A and B are shown apart, each in its own frame.
Chain A
Amino acid sequence: MGLKALILVGGFGTRLRPLTLTLPKPLVPFCNKPMIVHQIEALVQAGVTDIVLAVNYRPEIMEKVLKECEERYKITIHFSIESEPLGTAGPLKLAENILGKDDSPFFVLNSDVTCNYPFEQLRDFHNSHSSAGTIMVTKVDEPSNYGVVVMHTGSSQIERFVEKPKTFVGNRINAGIYIFDPKMLSRINLQPTSIETEVFPPMASDGELHAFDLQSFWADVGQPKDYIHGTCLYLSHLSNYSPNQLTQPSQHSWVNGGNVLVAPSAEIDSSALIGPNVVIGPGVKVGRGARLQRCVIMDGSRIRDHSWIHSTIVGWNCTIGRWVRIENIAVLGDDVVVKDELHINGASVLPHKSISASITEPKIVM
Chain B
Amino acid sequence: MVVKAVILTGGPSRGTSFRPLNLAADMPKPLFPLGGKPMIWHQLHSLSQVPHCTEVFLIGFWPEDTFTAFINQANEEFNGCFTVKYLREWQELGTAGGTYHFRDLITHNATAFFIIHSDIACDFPLNQLRAFHETHQGVGSIQATRVSRSSAHKYGCIVSDDKALAIHYAEKPDSFVSDLVSTGVYLFDVTLFDEIAAIIDCHYSSNIPQQEIGFDEHILRLEQDVIRPMADAHKMYVFETDVPWRPIKSAGSALPANELYLAQYQAKQGILLYQRGALDDASEKDSETEIVQPVTIDPSAHIARGCKIGPFVSIAANVVVKEGARVAHAVVQENTIIEPHCCILYAIIGARCRLAPWARVEGQPFTGDESAPTQSGICILACDVLVTRDVLIRSCIVLPNKSLSTSAASQVLL
Contact = CB atoms under 8 A, between A and B. Distances in A.
B394 A306 contact: no
A17 interface: no
A341 B345 contact: yes
B82 to A, nearest CB: 44
A289 B360 contact: no
Contacts of A327: 392
A360 B364 CA distance: 10
B188 to A, nearest CB: 48
Nearest to B392: A325
A227 interface: no
B326 interface: yes
Interface in B151-165: none
Nearest to B340: A289
Given A289-B323, A306-B343, A325-B343, A343 B362 contact: yes
B292 to A, nearest CB: 12
Interface string A306-346: 10101000000000001101010000000000000101000
B306 interface: yes
B376 to A, nearest CB: 15
A310 B324 CA distance: 19
B324 A308 contact: no
B360 A306 contact: no
B306 A343 contact: no
Contacts of A305: 306, 324
Nearest to A343: B362
Contacts, number: 47
Nearest to B328: A341
Contacts of B360: 308, 325, 343
B114 interface: no
B341 A308 contact: yes
Contacts of B358: 291, 306, 308
B259 to A, nearest CB: 17
B409 interface: yes
Interface core residue of A293, A305, A323 (most chain B CB under 10 Å): A323
Given A308-B358, A360-B394, A360-B409, A341 B326 contact: yes
Contacts of A323: 308, 326, 341, 343
A310 B360 CA distance: 14
Contacts of A322: 308, 326
B189 interface: no
A43 B113 CA distance: 93
Interface string B256-285: 000000000000000000000000000000
A306 B340 CA distance: 8
A341 B392 CA distance: 13
B343 A341 contact: yes
B324 A306 contact: yes
A360 B390 CA distance: 17
Contacts of B390: 291, 293, 308, 310
Interface in B316-364: 323-326, 328, 340-341, 343, 345, 357-358, 360, 362
Contacts of B340: 289
A271 B343 CA distance: 17
A288 interface: yes
Given A289-B341, A341-B345, A360-B409, A306 B392 contact: no
Contacts of A360: 394, 409
A306 B326 contact: yes
A90 to B, nearest CB: 47
Interface core residue of A306, A310, A341 (most chain B CB under 10 Å): A306
Nearest to B343: A323
Contact of B394 (A293, A308, A341, A343): A343
A327 B343 CA distance: 15
Contact of A288 (B306, B328, B357): B306
Nearest to A307: B341
Interface in A273-325: 288-289, 291, 293, 305-306, 308, 310, 322-323, 325
Nearest to B290: A322
Nearest to B407: A327
A48 B288 CA distance: 59
A25 B252 CA distance: 48
A308 B326 CA distance: 13
A322 B340 CA distance: 13
Interface core residue of A271, A305, A310, A325 (most chain B CB under 10 Å): A325
Nearest to B307: A306
A288 B345 contact: no
A291 B358 CA distance: 8
A113 B397 CA distance: 45
A293 B345 CA distance: 23
Given A308-B360, A308-B390, A343-B362, A288 B343 contact: no
Contact of B324 (A289, A343, A358): A289
A308 B361 CA distance: 13
A287 B362 CA distance: 22
B341 A306 contact: yes
A341 B326 CA distance: 8
Nearest to A361: B409
B341 to A, nearest CB: 4
A293 B357 CA distance: 14
Contacts of B392: 325, 327, 343
Interface string A41-62: 0000000000000000000000
A321 B341 CA distance: 13
A288 B340 CA distance: 11
Contacts of A358: 362
Interface in B375-412: 390, 392, 394, 409
Contacts of B345: 341
A358 B358 CA distance: 17
A57 B392 CA distance: 44
A323 B308 CA distance: 10
A255 to B, nearest CB: 17
Nearest to A328: B407
Interface core residue of B306, B343, B392, B409 (most chain A CB under 10 Å): B343
Interface of A: 271, 288-289, 291, 293, 305-306, 308, 310, 322-323, 325, 327, 341, 343, 358, 360
14 contacts: A289-B306, A289-B340, A291-B341, A291-B390, A293-B390, A306-B341, A310-B390, A322-B326, A323-B343, A341-B326, A341-B328, A343-B360, A343-B362, A343-B392
Please give me the 7 A-B residue pairs with the lowest Cβ-Cβ distance, nearest first. Answer: A289-B324, A323-B326, A306-B341, A323-B343, A289-B341, A306-B324, A291-B358
Given A289-B323, A341-B343, 9 more contacts: A288-B324, A289-B341, A322-B308, A322-B326, A323-B308, A323-B343, A325-B343, A341-B326, A343-B394
Interface of B: 306, 308, 323-326, 328, 340-341, 343, 345, 357-358, 360, 362, 390, 392, 394, 409
